[in-house]
A and B are shown apart, each in its own frame.
Chain A
Amino acid sequence: MRAVVIIFPGSNCDRDMLVALRKSGADVSTVWHKDAELPQNLDLVAIPGGFSFGDYLRCGAIAAQSPICRAVVEHANRGGYVLGVCNGFQVLTETGLIPGALMRNSGLKFLCKPIDLIVETQNSAFTSGYAQGSKIQVPIAHHDGNYFVTDSELTALRDEDRVAFRYTDNPNGSVHAIAGVLSCNRRVLGMMPHPERAMESQVGSTDGQALFRALVGQAMTP
């Protein structure tokens, strides 16, 4: 499985993402935001966490207009896999690949702590390694993770089984306690928690491993 991690000015989880993918068996490299093209025969684009362009204007808004993001949208429209974590999720909503928007946390504070998630659907390359309804522990680290969608969009997300993860104890005020959302074709996932920070028991949790293993495994099948 061929993967790239995109680096924007202000990305700070790119190395963690790279290591998580490499450890899970992916052939992974990095791509700079000014590049206009992605490598050939690419399976997965990972958009890491951080503070791209200093969160100016809106989180992810400037990154979403960068040359590489046009290529990412084309990759997604061809059916390629895209994983956006934290700031990467914000970038995905700003590109329109994932519906909704991420607003300031309802408690206004930056939150950095391990939290519990419920796996809401097994039906995706990202979540097939978890048992349906299982509880996993993954860290969050964000100021703007308060997911908003309109009522009609929320109904569509639920009817189409596109809510990937929900918080057990909604820390940021997200609609329906949503922590991760899939695209219509289920090949694009945006999530606020950091599975790439839950890969080693020394840092508290290994619950992120199943996401990367399942993703790398599935993308290798034709």
Chain B
Amino acid sequence: MKAIVTVMLKNGVLDPQGEAVKSALSVLGFSGVNGVRQGKVIELDIADGTDESQVNEMCSRLLVNSVIESYTLDIL
């Protein structure tokens, strides 16, 4: 089974990379992009039956820095 962890900067934390992507899109002529936030996806190949709480612990102890980041977890 797989766990997909999507990590994003928290709202209110400035994302300079997202801002740079937004201005590059504008340079390319794409209008109407009001905002860009850049995050990352971490795909974990985990043993069948792994408890979701264990994956949450992986997130809080290593994968995500809760000072600046938030995450969503999807188990497939």
Q: Is A32 on the interface with B (CB-CB < 8 A)?
A: no
Asked whether, in the complex, the Cβ of A106 is within 8 Å of the Cβ of B14, the reply is yes
* Nearest chain B CB to A84 CB, angstrom units: 16
Asked whether, in the complex, the Cβ of B20 is within 8 Å of the Cβ of A103, the reply is no
Interface centre among B14, B62, B67 (most CB of A within 10 A): B67
B40 nearest CB neighbor, chain A only: A57
Given the interface contacts A100-B67, A101-B68, A148-B67, does A65 sit within 8 Å of B16 by beta carbon? no
Asked whether, in the complex, the Cβ of B67 is within 8 Å of the Cβ of A93, the reply is yes
Residues of A within 8 A of B73 (CB): none
Residues of A within 8 A of B76 (CB): none
* Nearest chain A CB to B66 CB, angstrom units: 9
Asked whether, in the complex, the Cβ of A107 is within 8 Å of the Cβ of B16, the reply is yes
Asked whether, in the complex, the Cβ of B62 is within 8 Å of the Cβ of A103, the reply is no
In B49-76, the 8 Å CB interface with A consists of 61-63, 65, 67-68
Q: Is A14 on the interface with B (CB-CB < 8 A)?
A: no
Asked whether, in the complex, the Cβ of B14 is within 8 Å of the Cβ of A173, the reply is yes
Asked whether, in the complex, the Cβ of A104 is within 8 Å of the Cβ of B62, the reply is no
Docked Cα-Cα span, A41 to B14, in Å, equals 43
* Nearest chain B CB to A178 CB, angstrom units: 14
Asked whether, in the complex, the Cβ of B68 is within 8 Å of the Cβ of A65, the reply is no
Residues of B within 8 A of A57 (CB): 62-63
* Nearest chain A CB to B16 CB, angstrom units: 5
Asked whether, in the complex, the Cβ of B13 is within 8 Å of the Cβ of A58, the reply is no
B20 nearest CB neighbor, chain A only: A108
Asked whether, in the complex, the Cβ of A94 is within 8 Å of the Cβ of B65, the reply is yes
Residues of A within 8 A of B62 (CB): 57, 61, 65
Asked whether, in the complex, the Cβ of B20 is within 8 Å of the Cβ of A58, the reply is no
Asked whether, in the complex, the Cβ of A103 is within 8 Å of the Cβ of B13, the reply is yes
Q: Is A124 on the interface with B (CB-CB < 8 A)?
A: no
A137-178 vs B: 1/0 string, CB under 8 Å? 000000000101110000000000000000000000100000
Residues of B within 8 A of A100 (CB): 67
A107 nearest CB neighbor, chain B only: B16
Docked Cα-Cα span, A94 to B62, in Å, equals 9
Q: Is A12 on the interface with B (CB-CB < 8 A)?
A: no
Q: Is B17 on the interface with A (CB-CB < 8 A)?
A: yes
Residues of A within 8 A of B20 (CB): 108
Q: Is A105 on the interface with B (CB-CB < 8 A)?
A: yes
Asked whether, in the complex, the Cβ of A108 is within 8 Å of the Cβ of B16, the reply is yes
Docked Cα-Cα span, A99 to B67, in Å, equals 9
Residues of A within 8 A of B63 (CB): 57
Q: Can you list 24 pairs linking A and B with CB atoms under 8 Å apart?
A: A57-B62, A57-B63, A58-B65, A61-B62, A61-B65, A93-B67, A94-B65, A101-B67, A101-B68, A103-B13, A103-B14, A103-B68, A104-B16, A104-B17, A105-B16, A107-B16, A108-B16, A108-B17, A108-B20, A146-B16, A148-B67, A150-B67, A173-B14, A173-B16
